[in-house]
């Protein structure tokens, strides 16, 4: 008999076809996150679940379902801070993610935000769309020339390194970084053991750490106070790594030149104060939003389900 899985969002057909071949599959037809009751029912009624961003499998949810039928949450996405992994493991539920499949696309999104913020592209686009553009002149909308400047990476993991390489090879930037553990890198990069010291040195500070309790508000008022007034912040990690109120204050006071954000502290809510600012570029969590990337992520999550449920093995991307 086929094992039964729940896929928590509609996914591309290239992922669903092999899923149907391997399992009895229910695909939830909605794009919003699972409710608490949906998560509890999923733990009770399925052998495996493919949840994603926003599906908050908290300790309370696991506590409500002693002895769950579900033995694996194969997360669609690399970031799994929405799943309480200690509680999952305590309930006998393995958790896996999709590392690597997301790296290049997310690094490309970081580059988009670096260039858009530095060169004031959002502001410029709004000007043209408004009909108020009065024409080119030599001092119109001058931004930061990125080539040859210094980028600081907070979290030099897979995505951080892909961003650093793009900055170094494509834009001749110097690379500096702050990370939890020392890195053996194939390009020149200066490690810092103080985040504020790094922030003070760089022209662009890019956040690429995982979300979770250890990184909550890692980037706060002290970091913005340390940054140069000409510097830009980019966040492609998780929204609550940056203290949003402190960022808004820094942007309002021109303590920093600009910011580029793909993620938000209270996503999908984006404060009006942030939306009112000209010196910030706002993307709707587009990091991995390309069809082939989403297919790769889905196939990787499926591989984890197959290894665990059909092969009796530890999933290749267990966390």
Ligand X SMILES: NC(=O)c1ccc[n+]([C@@H]2O[C@H](COP(=O)([O-])OP(=O)(O)OC[C@H]3O[C@@H](n4cnc5c(N)ncnc54)[C@H](O)[C@@H]3O)[C@@H](O)[C@H]2O)c1
- Contacts with ligand X by CB under 6 A lie at 78-79, 99, 102-103, 106, 155-160, 178-181, 208-211, 214-215, 236-238, 262-263, 285, 287-288
Q: Closest by alpha carbon to 149, among 230, 73, 79, 69?
A: 230
Please identify which residue in the block is written with the tokens 């109120």.
245
CA gap 281, 90 in Å, rounded: 41
> Which of 43, 199 has the CB closer to ligand X?
199
Asked whether position 15 contacts ligand DGY by CB under 6 A, the answer is no
Indicate which of ligand X, ligand DGY, none lies near residue 145 (CB less than 5 to 8 Å, by partner kind): none
CA gap 137, 178 in Å, rounded: 40
CA gap 110, 60 in Å, rounded: 35
> Which of 67, 181 has the CB closer to ligand X?
181
For the CB of residue 54, give the shortest distance to ligand DGY in the complex, in Å.
Answer: 9
Q: Give the tokens for residue 32.
A: 């919003």
For the CB of residue 103, give the shortest distance to ligand X in the complex, in Å.
Answer: 6
Q: State which of positions 91-110 bind ligand DGY (CB under 6 A).
A: 102
For the CB of residue 223, give the shortest distance to ligand DGY in the complex, in Å.
Answer: 22
> Which of 106, 117 has the CB closer to ligand DGY?
106
Asked whether position 53 contacts ligand DGY by CB under 6 A, the answer is yes
For the chain, the C-alpha Rg in angstroms (whole number) is 21
Asked whether position 287 contacts ligand DGY by CB under 6 A, the answer is yes
Strands (E), 111-164: 150-154
For the CB of residue 31, give the shortest distance to ligand DGY in the complex, in Å.
Answer: 13
Catalytic one of 82, 238, 294, 308 = 238
Please identify which residue in the block is written with the tokens 């913005």.
224
What is the side-by-side order of every strand in the sheet holding 72-74?
A: 24-27, 4-7, 48-50, 72-74, 94-96
Catalytic residues: 238, 267, 285
């Amino acid at each position: 008999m086929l094992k039964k899985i729940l896929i928590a969002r509609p996914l591309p057909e290239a992922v669903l076809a092999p899923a149907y071949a391997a399992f009895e599959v229910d695909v939830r037809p909605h794009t919003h996150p699972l409710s608490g009751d949906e998560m509890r029912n999923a733990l009770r009624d399925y052998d495996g679940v493919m949840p994603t961003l926003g599906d908050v499998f908290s300790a309370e949810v696991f506590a409500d379902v002693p002895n769950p039928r579900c033995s694996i949450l194969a997360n669609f996405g690399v970031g799994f801070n929405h799943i309480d992994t200690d509680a999952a493991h305590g309930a006998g539920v393995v958790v896996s993610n999709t590392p690597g499949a997301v790296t290049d696309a997310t690094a490309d999104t970081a580059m988009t935000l670096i260039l858009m913020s530095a060169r004031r592209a959002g502001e410029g686009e709004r000007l043209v769309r408004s009909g108020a553009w009065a024409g080119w002149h030599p001092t119109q909308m001058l931004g930061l020339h990125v080539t040859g400047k210094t980028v600081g990476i907070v979290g030099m993991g897979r995505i951080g390194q892909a961003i650093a390489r793009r900055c170094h090879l494509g834009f001749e930037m110097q690379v500096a970084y702050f990370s939890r553990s020392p890195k053996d890198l194939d390009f020149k990069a200066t490690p810092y053991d103080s985040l504020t010291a790094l922030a003070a040195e760089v022209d662009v500070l890019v956040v690429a750490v995982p979300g979770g309790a250890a990184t909550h508000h890692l980037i706060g008022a002290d970091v913005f106070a340390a940054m140069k007034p000409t510097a830009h912040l980019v966040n492609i990690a998780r929204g609550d790594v940056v203290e949003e109120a402190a960022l808004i204050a820094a942007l309002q006071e021109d303590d920093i030149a600009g910011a580029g954000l793909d993620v938000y502290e209270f996503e999908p809510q984006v404060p009006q104060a942030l939306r009112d600012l000209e010196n910030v570029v706002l993307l709707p969590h587009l990091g991995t939003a390309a069809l082939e990337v989403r297919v790769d992520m889905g196939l990787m999550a499926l591989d984890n389900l197959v290894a665990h449920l059909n092969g009796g093995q530890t999933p290749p991307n267990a966390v």
